[in-house]
Amino acid sequence: MTPEERLAALLDDASSRGVKIMDKAGVWHQRLADRFLRVVWLGRMKTYMDGYVTTFGRAIYVPSDFSQWPALRRWQTLRHELVHVEQYRRYGWVLMVIVYGLLPLPIGLAYGRARLEWEAYEETLRAVFVSEGRDAAHAPKLRMEIVRRFTGPDYLWMWPFRSHVNRWIDSALSHF
């Protein structure tokens, strides 16, 4: 299957389940989140609008240039985000917002967010494995990127324990 075919199949499936993919810049609460995060990150985070994809409920908010991303990257990104769509369905809005945003702390020790993100990053690894092969899934660069996301500012230092995140990755990679 080509990346374009994978992407087309995934988009069809997602839209049949009521998932909407929308431009972040066109949504007021995403612009508000962008401003809020600039304050929280003390100006270090300037890429929320154009670098990140965010999911709320069945809405996946993408940067304005998303349609120009390579099909493979879009497909892998959407596989990750569809895990969050499923989590919203499973837990409901209220629980998702509380667990993702606040427990036990919003910043620095956000185990709830880390577990929810880990389920999605496991899917990222699986998507890379399926589309690019075993070597790509096991590549140190991908591992470093995932560890950086969990331990760094991208998700407000949600789980700053590198060895713990590495163990999660080891365990996921042991399946493929």
Helix (H, G, I), strand (E, B) or coil at 138: coil
Q: Which of positions 96-125 make contact with Zn ion (CB under 5 A)? A: 117, 120
Cβ closer to Zn ion: 34 or 117? 117
Instruction: Tell me the closest approach of the beta carbon of residue 154 to Zn ion, in angstroms.
Output: 10
**Position closest to Zn ion via CB:** 120
Instruction: Decide if 158 contacts 117 (C-beta within 8 A).
Output: yes
Instruction: Tell me the closest approach of the beta carbon of residue 72 to Zn ion, in angstroms.
Output: 18
Cβ closer to Zn ion: 6 or 154? 154
C-alpha to C-alpha distance for 66 and 68, rounded to whole angstroms = 5
Instruction: Tell me the closest approach of the beta carbon of residue 52 to Zn ion, in angstroms.
Output: 9
Total site size for Zn ion, rule CB under 5 A: 2
C-alpha to C-alpha distance for 37 and 45, rounded to whole angstroms = 7
Instruction: Tell me the closest approach of the beta carbon of residue 122 to Zn ion, in angstroms.
Output: 11
C-alpha to C-alpha distance for 156 and 143, rounded to whole angstroms = 19
Instruction: Decide if 85 contacts 78 (C-beta within 8 A).
Output: no
Least Cα distance to 69 among 93, 53, 92 occurs for: 53
Cβ closer to Zn ion: 2 or 121? 121
Helix (H, G, I), strand (E, B) or coil at 39: helix
Cβ closer to Zn ion: 1 or 63? 63
> Which residues contact Zn ion (rule: CB under 5 A)?
117, 120
